[in-house]
Amino acid sequence: MLASSLRREELLALDAETILRRLFWQEKLLRLESMAGDATPHFSCTCSRERVRKTILGLGADEAQSIVAERGEIEVGCDFCGAQYRFDPIDVTQIFSQTDAFPPSSTAVQ
């Protein structure tokens, strides 16, 4: 479809961005569902840099580092409030060097 008009690296970057967005949205949708019982229709965004950091962590080191290699940074935009979160190579390295971000062995599924 559009693939032929895009350079390969752009396509890869776009794809990674889509993955980030999808992960981000899943979490938001879950949160919205949990708030459905609340009669108050106010709409506040719960995004945060910490949340995006965990999303990047969920991508995996290889994927995240490949985005940094292609773009020089990882930039994630919130579709709700429009906030932009940028992670430079140092940030990304720190994300994956903080092993305590992972819960103890419970999620280590074979």
Residues that bind Zn ion (CB under 5 A): 45, 47, 78, 80-81, 83
Q: Which is nearer to Zn ion, 29 or 90 (CB)?
A: 29
Output the six-digit token pair for 56. Answer: 């990047």
CB of residue 28 to Zn ion, shortest distance in Å: 8
CB of 54 to Zn ion, least distance (A): 14
Closer to Zn ion by CB, 56 or 78: give it. Answer: 78
Give the residue with the Cβ less far from Zn ion, 58 or 89.
Answer: 58
Tell me how far CA of residue 92 lies from CA of 26, 69, 77, 81, 107, in angstroms.
22, 11, 16, 23, 22
Between CA 30 and CA 15 the distance in angstroms is 23
Smallest separation (angstroms) from Zn ion to the CB of 82? 7
- In a 3-state reduction of DSSP, which class is residue 77? strand
CB 45, min distance to Zn ion, A: 3
Pick 27 or 70: Cβ nearer Zn ion: 27
What residues contact 55, with CB distance under 8 A and at least 6 apart?
Answer: 20, 23, 24, 27, 76
Looking at residue 76, the DSSP 8-state letter turns out to be E
